[in-house]
Structure 1
């Protein structure tokens, strides 16, 4: 007789001891209560009717019941049957190190047992793959050829020990050669080699074989066992520690460097397995990347289980326990209905354990079949749990609803509640990883906003999975029902940390992009202000030049008038004095204009410096954005940031050359490169308002200049009239005819000159800009 789960027999001794202790304690309590009631008469047979042999026999029946229940849970069988199937899978040859150093206990319980445990888990997770086994130490031999019979292969794993290969050592070359020959004999299928070893004292030359494996594209997946820093003593068969000829302890370290080199040369992967981090997930993911091929003519061995026999024996013992009385010569039946009710949950628990896999997250041995839709779910919690498990394996989302029903209704079955909580947690955890992978794909596709949304969804899924894991571990007595919950919590913490790091990087990248856009927009606005100031200054200079021309004409007319007034010296002297006063007045105006020009120049220098600072800040933000985009492999955004930086450099050069229009164009291109097109309408409106304000200022300035010019003309005309009036006065208060004619002619000429100057000034003004927007 053999068992599918023989490890459950480790529970026999603790369970039997617990039953015995409880029985002794119950007997002691009964004696105290009887003594409290009867006093010294507790030993009187007439008062106390008890048969100690019958009580001991009932305890023996209870022990047999527990023993049969454990045997049924271990799923006994003594025969099997071959079942044909044609799956799609891979060919994996396992090379297993059985040297003496594998007995080191730096990994509990030992390196050898830990490696066998990992290999069993790997076989269970890949039911459609074919496995072969090569055991090696000083020599190597093919322990099991490639087979799809996972049950038979598991039996070969159980038989592995350090006596499998008598010759000591670690000859990896011989093992690789045997594996290669086994692959040559195999027909089809994508292939890979799994190596379980501590790498201690590698012998042989495996370089040529590694080159051959690389040419044939057969990767080498290596699982390292042990500590690469601290050596572990090697035990002997008699329990002592192995020593060398000088009596020193022989220690074994993990040869991690050489194993990494072997894995890298064949395109495989190396992981170091420990108790807390087995590294099995990395190996499984790399194996899944291999292509699958149809395996025709494959067969697998399915055991014919006999656990119902053990259940029947346990039921008989339990019924006898309840029916048999402890009173002497009395064989009355005691509560048969209660006995049956107590037996029913135990049988349902064993049926659920036999139907459900030990690990809720792993796939069953056979391909899942399509589950027909049932009109109503079963009312029994165990059957409902099994149905939910089957639907979860088939990928049905309605399995979560069934698990929730089990958690709500199975109050008397905490084991089913614990398993249901754990399975719900694994489902949420798997969904969170799927969503996170989708977010990573969107990041690679340059879609940052959708990636952030996916990461938020993944965080919510992880939070839900964590709550379910914690709830599944609330009952300490049932933690063995979900042994992987603690490891899954650690993996969940790692997943959450990775998601938070990726989310933080994306948010920093978006923040840098917005900062670069804002600073570029500020530089653009500052450049527009500088351009407007420059245009106003140019217009003022032009108006001043035109006013200066009118003043020169006026001075020329005054000079002509002065030359024609040579008749009286006193009048010439008065006219010269008036001219000197006018020259002083013009000099004061010129000095005021120079002071105003200096203030305008200082203000322009400050604005120029402010614009350059804004450009420097925008350029710095663009460089930071490019570096962050390169870190996240955002090629498009990196190119846009680089283009924006170049346009900002060109804008700075144009500003230094006082080419504000050209600088404005470069700033607009930089804004477009940074994704600032959404603010284009706002910028157009600002530009329109600035142009309107500029035209209004120019119009007001021109009107003011014209008004000043006319005022100056009137003042000059008045001065000339006063001077002419003084000239026309004769000494006796009368004006002769000749003098009057000259005065009238001078006034007409002066009026004509003023009119011509005003017309010339009006013609020289720039035409008003028509608004075509």
Structure 2
């Protein structure tokens, strides 16, 4: 099964979602009304007679109804039939470029797909014309002969791709030869050739064929695809870009000059097609000017549509939807059924009217629409020129078509050709001035972007007018036939200069606005960095103060323990030997003094290191402060330049915005000098809003995430530091000697030192006891 309009199936998902949302909303509203009516009894089965499965099944039937209706609108069919067709129309042979350069994407989605879209639109707009297709690249072949079967011809269009012709290149001579042979008959005014190409690397000698086409009155209508100034890269099948043998990127430009010349030699027209301006209307109007002729023995394919089947299925689902009640079986009554029975005759009437015959009607019953034909223009070139001149004075846009006919047909009247070219140039020149005036008006109305677009259009019109003026002066027989052309060229140069100056001023103004936005954003980022660093520095100082307080407490505890131990040792020494104790006490005092001096030196070194670190931090802070101030100064300077430029172009709104941004930047600078980074950030945001920019929610979210990560890392460090301090306190409580972090001692060495100290202490005690025995002889009792 196929569908004539398959694009309608894109509506399936939105329609089904809408039905589901409406069903859920209706159920919610019903529940609220029942709760308001019954209160707490809304869940009582005796009060609410509802079958949830039946309600869901009815919603499913409604979804099926919508699905079948969309399928019917897409017009399904699975067979077709050839029907005789004898209209009055034209014969158009389409020459389609399928070279690799047509894959360039300077026209979205690609030159090839854009050309296929234009050709489909043209076929739909001319149902009575016959079309043929010639595909060409390095070679050319007849893909489809002349046919009035638009459905079959559209299928040939869909099959076109760059693999249709395996040999690369753009051999236009071969394509024109195949198209000329496909016409077969003699010259006639109802024939034309349509060429879709980018004109890149045209090959072959088509001069002889162009003369033959001109003799047979077969015009060449050319549709150019691409950009004539900027080349587009050519993609390969694997997704890479095409390169030459030296590795340089290969680009493809539109050969607009050669294509214009080719169209002018055959009496046709050239149109450059873009996404915004397809040029299809110009081609259609030019084709309608061709003569029409009876097309004998023509046939067209008509599909046998089966949409009534989808309508019948939709009607059945809808009838079941109305017949089925949401109440349980024991509580149903006949009201939905009677409503459905009332709806059934209308359904049957619609289905009877929608049912189509199995075989389509023949040609006599299908009369083509009559195309309104304008009165035939005069055949004499002089009379045609006068008619064109009258229409131009009256402001009729069709005068340009008459001038083109004069240029094509008056080969023996160069004076008429010269004046026609000159008049066409004046028309383009006048249009360019009108567009430029509109651009100036939009500048005064504070609409810079639309004004810039209008100026670009005016430049294009001036370029076209210049080409026409130059062509009117290039005819050698009558170089001075139109002396005004030279004066108009000078005026055109002056107009172009004015347009370029205004365009340059607008672009400079927009550039200054972007520059001010960027510099203000840089100032925001720098201010945020300064604020984060200041917060980190404050936190580090706080942590250092807390650490210093803890260290002081530990030192005080150690000193108290040492003093207590010393007092105890002194008491023991005095008991053992007062003199020896006094000597040992002096020695201990001396050792303590030396240890205290070493501790004082270490404290002095730590103090010196802290002072050096504070100096480095101060230098970094000064550099950061200077960098932030420089960013603010640059942003303020850009805002002042923007205001001056806006005043020059009389852009009051933009001038006010720039002045507001400058004031906010001044306030931000004052806040930074007072170390109020939060307040400075608010002023910078206001300045950014005034300049028409925003920092973006994503950037704020990222900054919040970074701050959160930094806080987590800081918390982890604090936990680690607390753990280390707890372990150190535990060791001190157990009586172990605290060692600095950078001078830790292994357990084996510590045990040896302790053993040696214990041995020395034991030897010292033995020596003291021996000395006491020798000085104080024991007195024996004599009682």
Say which is worse superposed, 11-20 or 332-341, in terms of deviation: 332-341
* 1:512–1:685 distance in 2 versus 1, CA, 3 Å: same
| Cα distance change on mapping 1:756 and 1:686 into 2, 3 Å | farther
Residues 89 and 189 in structure 1, CA contact (< 8 A), matched pair in contact too: no
Q: How far 1:318 sits from its partner (Å)?
A: 1.9
> Do 1:370 and 1:394's aligned partners in 2 also have CA atoms closer than 8 Å?
no
Shift, 1:101, TM fit: 3.6
Q: Distance in 2 between matches of 1:100 and 1:210?
A: 25
Q: CA contact under 8 A between 1:228 and 1:255: conserved in structure 2?
A: yes
Aligned to 2:448: 448
Is the 8 Å Cα contact of residues 576 and 768 (structure 2) preserved in structure 1?
no
More displaced 10-residue stretch of structure 1: 69-78 or 614-623: 614-623
The whole-number CA distance in structure 2 between the counterparts of 1:688 and 1:85 is 71
The DSSP-based 3-state class of the residue aligned with 1:568 is helix
**Max Rg structure:** 1
CA shift in 2, pair 1:289/1:54, >3 Å = same
Distance 1:277-1:622 versus aligned 2 partners, 3 A rule: closer
Tell me the TM-score normalised to structure 2 length: 0.42
Mean CA deviation greater in 311-320 or 95-104:
95-104
Q: Which runs of structure 2 are paired with 1:460-499 in the superposition (5 Å)?
A: none
**Segment drifting more, 203-212 vs 646-655:** 646-655
How many Å apart are 1:496 and its aligned residue? 25
Indicate conservation of the 8 Å contact 1:324/1:332, yes or no. no
Partners of 1:735 and 1:687 in 2: CA distance:
44
Q: Distance in 2 between matches of 1:595 and 1:468?
A: 79
Of 369-378 and 208-217, more deviation after overlay is shown by 369-378
CA 1:12–1:574: 2 relative to 1, 3 Å? closer
2:552 paired residue number: none
Contact 1:462–1:496 (Cα < 8 Å) also in 2? yes
1:743/1:184 Cα in 2 relative to 1: closer, same or farther (>3 Å)? closer
Q: Helix, strand or coil for the counterpart of 1:727? A: coil
Alpha-carbon deviations, 1:381-433, whole Å to 9, x = none? 99999999999999999999999999999999999999999999999999999
1:22 aligns to what SS in structure 2?
A: helix
For 1:36 and 1:713, locate their aligned partners in 2 and report how far apart those are by CA, in whole Å: 62
CA deviation after TM superposition for structure 1 residue 143, in Å: 1.5
Shift of 1:190: 3.2
Residues 366 and 769 (structure 1 numbering): CA distance in 2 closer, same or farther, change over 3 Å? farther
Task: Give secondary structure in 1 for the equivalent of 2:745.
Answer: coil
Distance 2:53 2:753 in 1: 163
Inter-partner Cα distance in structure 1 for 2:731 and 2:31: 148
Deviates more, 1:334-343 or 1:199-208: 334-343
Cα distance, 1:592–1:525 mapped onto 2, change above 3 Å: same
Q: Distance in 1 between matches of 2:780 and 2:98?
A: 95
Matches of 1:693 and 1:771, distance apart in 2: 83
C-alpha displacement of 1:118: 2.2
Cα root mean square deviation, aligned: 32.7
In the alignment, structure 2 segments of 5+ residues that lack a partner are 539-555
Q: 1:421 to 1:256 in 2, by over 3 A?
A: closer
8 A Cα contact 2:435 2:457, kept in partner:
yes
Distance 1:456 1:240, change over 3 A: closer
* Range moving further from structure 2, 447-456 or 303-312: 447-456
How far is the alpha carbon of 1:193 from its aligned partner? 0.5
Give the drift of 1:717.
166
Render the CA deviation track for 1:362-393: whole Å, top value 9, x for unaligned.
99995358999999999999999999999999
Unmatched runs of 5 consecutive residues or more in structure 1? 695-701
2:661–2:690: 8 Å Cα contact kept in structure 1?
yes
Asked if residue 555 in structure 1 is aligned to residue 565 in structure 2, the reply is no
The worse-fitting range, judged by mean Cα deviation, of 423-432 and 283-292 is 423-432
Contact residue 446 and residue 636 of structure 1 kept, 8 A: yes
Cα deviation, residue 142, structure 1? 1.4
- CA-CA distance at 1:131 after TM superposition: 0.9
Q: State which drifts further: 103-112 or 217-226.
A: 103-112
Distance 1:661 1:29, change over 3 A: closer
Distance change >3 Å, CA 583–CA 438, structure 1 → 2:
same
Matched position secondary structure for 1:565: helix
Tell me if the contact between 2:189 and 2:218 (Cα under 8 Å) persists in the aligned partners.
no
Assess, with a 3 A threshold, how the Cα gap between structure 1 residues 654 and 280 changes in structure 2: closer, same or farther: same
**Could you tell which deviates more after superposition, 720-729 or 530-539?**
720-729
Alpha-carbon distance between aligned partners in 2 of 1:740 and 1:264, rounded to the nearest angstrom = 105
Residue range with higher mean Cα deviation, 604-613 or 105-114: 604-613
CA distance in 2, matches of 1:58, 1:633: 66
**Residue deviations 1:36-70 (CA, integer Å, cap 9, x gap):** 55666655555554444433333332222222222
Q: Residue in 2 aligned with 1:613? A: 630
Contact 1:73 1:353 in 2 (8 A): no
Kept in 2, the 8 Å contact 1:80–1:301? The answer is yes
Which stretch has the larger CA shift, 5-14 or 457-466?
457-466
Three-state SS of the structure 2 residue aligned to 1:330 is: helix
Change (3 A) 1:358 1:196: farther
Question: What is the distance in 1 between the residues matched to 2:267 and 2:408?
Answer: 50
Deviates further, 280-289 or 399-408: 399-408
Deviation at 1:175, TM superposition (A): 1.9
Q: How many angstroms apart in 2 are the aligned matches of 1:481 and 1:596?
A: 89
The 1:585–1:476 alpha-carbon spacing in structure 2 relative to 1, beyond 3 Å, is same
Q: Distance in 2 between matches of 1:580 and 1:42?
A: 89
Q: Which moved more, 1:215-224 or 1:78-87?
A: 78-87
Contact 1:557–1:750 (CA under 8 A) maintained in structure 2: no
Asked if 1 retains the 8 angstrom alpha-carbon contact of 2:267 and 2:408, the reply is no
Q: How many residues align?
A: 766
Q: Are the aligned partners of 1:190 and 1:292 in contact in 2 as well (CA < 8 Å)?
A: yes
Tell me: CA distance 1:672–1:438, structure 2 relative to 1, closer, same or farther (3 Å). Answer: same
Displacement after TM superposition at 1:150 (Å): 2.1
Q: 1:755 to 1:292 in 2, by over 3 A?
A: farther
In the TM superposition, residue 124 of structure 1 has moved relative to its aligned partner by 2.7
Deviation at 1:133?
0.9
**Contact residue 124 and residue 365 of structure 1 kept, 8 A:** no
CA distance 1:425–1:654, shift in 2 (3 Å):
same
SS in 1 for 2:734: helix
Q: Do structure 1's residue 573 and structure 2's residue 583 form an aligned pair?
A: no
Contact 1:9 1:71 in 2 (8 A): yes
* C-alpha contact 2:68 2:310 (8 A) present in aligned 1: yes
Deviates more, 1:606-615 or 1:421-430: 606-615
In the TM superposition, what is the alpha-carbon distance from 1:126 to its structure 2 partner?
2.4
CA 1:431–1:485 in 2, change beyond 3 Å: closer, same or farther? Answer: same
How far apart, in 2, do the equivalents of 1:312 and 1:527 lie? 70
Q: 1:162 is paired with a residue of what secondary structure?
A: coil
Which is further off, 685-694 or 479-488? 685-694
Q: CA deviation at 1:269?
A: 0.6
Partner residue of 2:138?
138
> Which 10-residue stretch deviates more, 183-192 or 713-722?
713-722
Aligned to 1:698: none
Worse-matched range after superposition: 565-574 or 377-386: 565-574
Partner of 1:397: 397
Matched residue SS, 1:217: coil
- Report the CA distance shift for 1:101/1:581 in structure 2 as closer, same or farther (over 3 A): closer
Q: 1:419 to 1:637 in 2, by over 3 A?
A: same
Residues 95, 179 of structure 1: 8 Å contact kept: yes
CA contact (8 A) 1:124 1:364 kept: no
How far apart are 1:180 and its partner, in Å?
1.8
| Other-structure match for 1:104 | 104
Q: Tell me how far 1:216 sits from its aligned partner.
A: 2.8
